[in-house]
């Protein structure tokens, strides 16, 4: 039976994934369309600092390199909600995000499509998301680490995140009503980029 079938998603045992452990690092890019033919993009490094699945909590640091108008990296600390339908659901309910905003952003992930109609019918919380191949999260930057809060950048918004447990490939979309919409974040685990292995469930990948 496929991993995303009803029988498997209701299993109480969560899928283990070492990519969520403290110390794991990711690298990729974030981009935003400012004009029709103008694309800003910059390198992003993410490090997981803590993960507590029993609380649906995750946190880490994000380093943005080559941010427009900055000659040095910008580092932020973020905290995240793991959407497991135990502690947090797909509906954000804070940070100025409406249900329409949630649906528009989650729908950009192909992994969310099986739950789109359930979301609209307010039944998405019936699915045990901790058993699926994908991890849905929200990452909220809390403060700047190495620059003053009045540096001209904003961290008022948050990221909708979707990570593949098997490959570690991660996508995200930044939401802030006052910023460029649908800024896209794409990350890969550094261990994969460096040719190292990692484990998920009972399998190991090299």
What CATH number is attached to the domain comprising 66?
Answer: 2.40.128
Angle value at C-alpha 101, between 117 and 147, nearest 5 degrees: 140
**pLDDT at position 205:** 36
Cβ atoms 160, 138 nearer than 8 A: yes
Q: Is 56 left (phi over 0), alpha (psi -120 to 50) or beta?
A: left
The answer to whether residue 44 is domain-embedded is yes
The answer to whether residue 100 is domain-embedded is yes
Domain extent at residue 73? 6-205
The answer to whether residue 34 is domain-embedded is yes
**pLDDT at position 123:** 82
Residues lower than pLDDT 70 in the chain: 1-17, 33-39, 193-206
Q: Phi first, then psi: what are they for 20, rounded to 5°?
A: -95, -5
Rg, C-alpha atoms of the chain? 17
**pLDDT at position 185:** 97
Cβ atoms 91, 83 nearer than 8 A: no
**pLDDT at position 107:** 97
Cβ atoms 149, 162 nearer than 8 A: no
Q: Which among 78, 95, 103, 114 is positioned nearest to 187, based on CA atoms?
A: 78
Q: Positive or negative, the Cα torsion across 13, 16, 22, 24?
A: negative
The answer to whether residue 125 is domain-embedded is yes
The answer to whether residue 1 is domain-embedded is no
The answer to whether residue 109 is domain-embedded is yes
**pLDDT at position 197:** 53
Query: Into how many domains does the chain fold?
Result: 1
The answer to whether residue 157 is domain-embedded is yes
Q: How far is CA 56 from CA 24, 113, 128, 132, 142, in A?
A: 17, 22, 13, 15, 17
**pLDDT at position 15:** 57
pTM: 0.84
**pLDDT at position 38:** 56
């Amino acid at each position: 039976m496929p991993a995303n079938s009803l029988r498997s998603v209701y299993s109480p045992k969560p899928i283990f994934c070492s990519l969520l452990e403290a110390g794991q690092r990711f690298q990729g890019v974030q981009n935003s369309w400012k004009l029709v033919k103008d694309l800003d993009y910059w390198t992003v490094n993410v490090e997981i600092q803590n993960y507590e699945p029993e609380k649906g909590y995750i946190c880490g640091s994000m380093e943005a390199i080559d941010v427009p108008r900055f000659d040095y990296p910008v580092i932020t600390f973020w905290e995240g909600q793991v959407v497991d339908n135990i502690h947090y659901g797909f509906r954000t309910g804070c940070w100025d995000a409406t249900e329409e905003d949630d649906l528009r952003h989650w729908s950009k992930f192909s992994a969310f499509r099986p739950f789109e109609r359930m979301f609209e019918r307010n039944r998405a919380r019936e699915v045990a998301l901790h058993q699926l191949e994908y991890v849905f999260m929200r990452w909220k930057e809390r403060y700047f680490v190495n620059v003053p809060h009045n540096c001209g950048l904003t961290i008022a918004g948050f990221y909708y995140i979707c990570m593949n447990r098997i490959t570690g490939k991660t996508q995200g979309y930044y939401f802030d009503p006052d910023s460029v919409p649908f800024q896209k974040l794409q990350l890969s685990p550094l261990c994969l980029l460096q040719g190292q292995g990692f484990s998920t469930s009972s399998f190991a990948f090299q």
